[in-house]
Amino acid sequence: MVALDPHPLRTWTPTYSAWADELPSWLPETAVASIAPKPAVWTDHHRIIDRTYCVLDTLALQTALALDRVRVLAGTAIDVTGSRVTTSDGTIVDARHVVDARGTLDSRDLAQQTAYGIVVERQRAEPILEGSDAWFMDWRTDNGAMPGDVPSFLYAVALDADRVLLEETCLVGRPALDLGVLRTRLHHRLSHRNLEPTGNEDVERVRFSVEPPPRSQLHTGRGGPVLFGSRSNLMHPATGYSVAASLASADHLVERFRGGGRSRRSRPVHIWTVQKLRNLGLRTALSLQPEMVPQFFASFFSLPVELQRSYLSGHDDAVGTMTAMLKMFPTLPASARIAIARTVARPLHRG
């Protein structure tokens, strides 16, 4: 087996989180840095989500993904087919199967998620957490944003026993909010809650596309490589989560190759349907009036946790995803239902 990356020895640094039930059983416990058994959301009011959320230990995760029996090459792929990779220095690697996991594009034409966060000691963060294990989303408007501005929420999770990440997040935008705006909003929100950032805190900056590259830029179909990770449908376009889905799908991929190209567990129609429904979720998120966004999530988090899971996790539960959306729709305010109906009626222009 051969792996190719421009910087194979680079240490990963982003803070990755996931729902605990999404993680594959082979992932060692050491890869989990902190657990929030009952994270909270603030939509129109405070709610507890009865589903364990966890923050991964990025270094331990990287270490756990051992490459012992893999020949690792440093290089940049410039041409990738289903059986051959050509790199920028002219190296050619032929293989029975090629997996293209080059991530998505950093393009403002794609919907992106942005966030700006600071890391503070647990003691300083306690008043912000207000007794919650974590804030999965806090949509309160004390961040200085004006009515009609693109909204952002506070995300607050423990990185370990001593440190908490406080992050102002723009869930999705095309374009997404600039990091400078998010920084200002975070400081405004924290000051309002009696936490004055000193400017010496460690900072996390987040910007990534929540959509794969346009199909016109991918080699798909017969003769193309297998797409994986955020380059494929493993990225949830309405939330930006992909890490747990990719980890959980690794075994399916191996099984698929062992089975000569088809996994017993693959359900292409279900996967396709889920992707279409999630893309609709993304278009809805992009088209909602700012003041409707917290109400939208109030409806979402009123769903039973099982349906929340169907919508947020995995990538082939078509019935669960559809049920979650249908159950949620009548609970939304009329203006949000009209916006969604318009989104459904509007043709999709992207390739």
- Residues in the site for ligand FAD, rule: CB under 6 A? 4-7, 14-18, 76-77, 101-103, 204, 206, 208, 229-231, 235, 240-243, 246
For residues 7 and 96, which CB has a smaller minimum distance to ligand FAD in the complex? 7
The least distance separating ligand FAD from the CB of residue 17, rounded to whole angstroms, comes to 4
- Contact of 316 with 274, CB cutoff 8 Å: yes
Nearest distance from C-beta of residue 73 to ligand FAD, angstroms:
9
> Long-range contacts of range 257-263, CB-CB < 8 Å, 24 or more positions apart?
257/96, 257/97
Closest approach, Cβ 3 to ligand FAD, in A, equals 9
If the CB atoms of residues 207 and 337 are measured against ligand FAD, the closer one turns out to be 207
How near is the Cβ of 228 to ligand FAD at its closest, in Å?
Answer: 7
Neighbours of 16 (CB within 10 A): 18
Q: Is residue 42 a contact partner of residue 137, using CB atoms and an 8 Å limit? A: yes
**Beta-ladder partners of 92:** 86
Residue closer to ligand FAD (CB basis): 74 or 344: 74
Report CA-CA distances (Å) from 311 to 251, 288, 314.
22, 19, 8
CB of 309 to ligand FAD, least distance (A): 15
> How many CB atoms are closer than 10 A to CB 172?
22
Cβ proximity of 145 and 181 under 8 Å: no
Residue with tokens 């004055």: 196
Closer residue to ligand FAD (CB): 134 or 293: 134
Q: In the bound complex, what is the minimum distance in angstroms from residue 28's beta carbon to ligand FAD?
A: 18
Dihedrals phi, psi of 134, to nearest 5 degrees: -170, 160
Which of residues 132 and 233 has its CB atom nearest to ligand FAD in the complex?
233
**Between residues 316 and 340, which has the closer beta carbon with respect to ligand FAD?**
316
Nearer to ligand FAD, 15 or 34 (CB): 15
What is the distance between the alpha carbons of residues 311 and 324, in angstroms, rounded to a whole number?
6
Smallest distance from ligand FAD to CB 291, Å? 27
Question: With helix as H, strand as E and coil as C, how does 297-315 read?
Answer: HHHHCCCCHHHHHHHHCCC
Query: Torsion angle of alpha carbons 279, 285, 289, 291, nearest 10°?
Result: 160
